Structure 1
């Protein structure tokens, strides 16, 4: 198996004459927490769509554990071991928390839906759902409808759906967006715990979260990666300061 969970090689995406992703090269190491940052319009969401199969690249390669996945349907990519969350919460609102998790766990464990077999009798499914509920700190919300959860709880459930698939590589798209300071702190703690041992590529605008959580950071500007390094290296990089973080004096004043 490749030492990298994801390898992106000279990836490009154009919409007509407009180049959105312009020759991106990026590596997510196995077991690494890697943050992707950049100004609005840099192409971060487009890059996530390309990796997860929602968009086809114009050219270039995307490898998951050494196997090419560019252009494959999202379901095939999930089956290969990659799952993602979205900027907008993506859950089944009219189903309970438990029912949401069952959907992902059934698929992971190889079960098929059947009107003749009550799902509650599948002991392996129930055991895995119970474990996930505890891990996500949602046991007390087991029978609650998903649309009755608080916003942070809905984001936690979406994270649970991503890991319930059995994926060892996760893409998280702005998981802390719209949260208060205290909610962000709790979400950060949860993500750190749930993603332990997995490979994580995350887009997030909260720089405090990024510098606390990421092993490495890549900076995307106008569809190109202009720098990759540790949080300390990125913080000190003059090109990054100019393009994204602002000058050291401006950052200190902020």
Structure 2
């Protein structure tokens, strides 16, 4: 897809974040267009997770703007941002290990479908929840593991389940924080295929250290170094960028 052919769905303008005198994010400008797969790379300590915390509402920016579909969301709590269609995963797998795979996803679908907590309502009779849960488990290829406790899934399956929880609320903008971290080669291949599938009709912004995954998935790549984006371009141009090679990718990029 052409990154310039569509309207930005997520925009960061002059975004800054300081902790005391230490400035972590230093004037980030970024526009992610609808339907794009956009990767953020950079060395450890560059501010990537802090940037995700700002976008998803877990931190308040010190300055600057964050716009989702043209509307300001900076400073809103995470749940409000999630209800506007932006959802994120975390570096550490965040699931309910004692609940089954089915129960994990069903919990995530209840609120998004308008159901509130009720002691006298039988959740098994909520047909819309059942249909949506089955749709998600089919999409993330875990329908055959629906009765399995989430805590005994393989690591790759747990990450797939977390992606399922991320999309359960009908979010169309996904933030994935190092989705393949700690995986074997085979697990990485499966999760990359899953990410490609679930992002087909959604917008993806991801942090990832595995360069093969980045170059395989991303339409565009932004390089964050010491809180600033030093380059934003297609994978081929990023790979050939001398400044990026020096700052992060090293001689292997050449």
Into which bin does the TM-score normalised by the smaller protein fall? over 0.9
Shift of 1:220: 0.1
Match of 1:74 among 55, 74, 78: 78
Query: Hey, what's the Cα distance between the residues in 2 that align with 1:69 and 1:39?
Result: 27
Match of 1:226 among 226, 230, 235: 230
2:4 corresponds to 1:5:
no
In the alignment, what sits opposite 1:155? Answer: 159
Kept in 1, the 8 Å contact 2:223–2:229? The answer is yes
In the alignment, what sits opposite 1:169? Answer: 173
Give the ranges of 4+ consecutive aligned residues of structure 1 lying more than 2 Å apart after TM superposition.
none
Q: Once structures 1 and 2 are overlaid, which stretch shifts more, 136-145 or 66-75?
A: 136-145
Query: Hey, what's the Cα distance between the residues in 2 that align with 1:15 and 1:130?
Result: 43
Shift of 1:136: 1.0
Shift of 1:113: 2.1
TM-score under structure 1 length normalisation: 0.96
1:9-158 to structure 2, matched below 5 A, reads 9-158=13-162
* Number of residue equivalences: 249
TM-score under structure 2 length normalisation: 0.96
Query: Hey, what's the Cα distance between the residues in 2 that align with 1:151 and 1:79?
Result: 28
Which ranges of structure 1 fall in alignment gaps of 5 or more residues? none
In the alignment, what sits opposite 1:209? Answer: 213
Query: Hey, what's the Cα distance between the residues in 1 that align with 2:191 and 2:160?
Result: 8
Query: Hey, what's the Cα distance between the residues in 2 that align with 1:241 and 1:142?
Result: 44
Query: Hey, what's the Cα distance between the residues in 2 that align with 1:19 and 1:114?
Result: 45
Query: Hey, what's the Cα distance between the residues in 2 that align with 1:54 and 1:231?
Result: 29
Shift of 1:100: 0.9
Query: Hey, what's the Cα distance between the residues in 2 that align with 1:12 and 1:131?
Result: 39
Query: Hey, what's the Cα distance between the residues in 2 that align with 1:81 and 1:251?
Result: 35
Q: Once structures 1 and 2 are overlaid, which stretch shifts more, 203-212 or 110-119?
A: 110-119
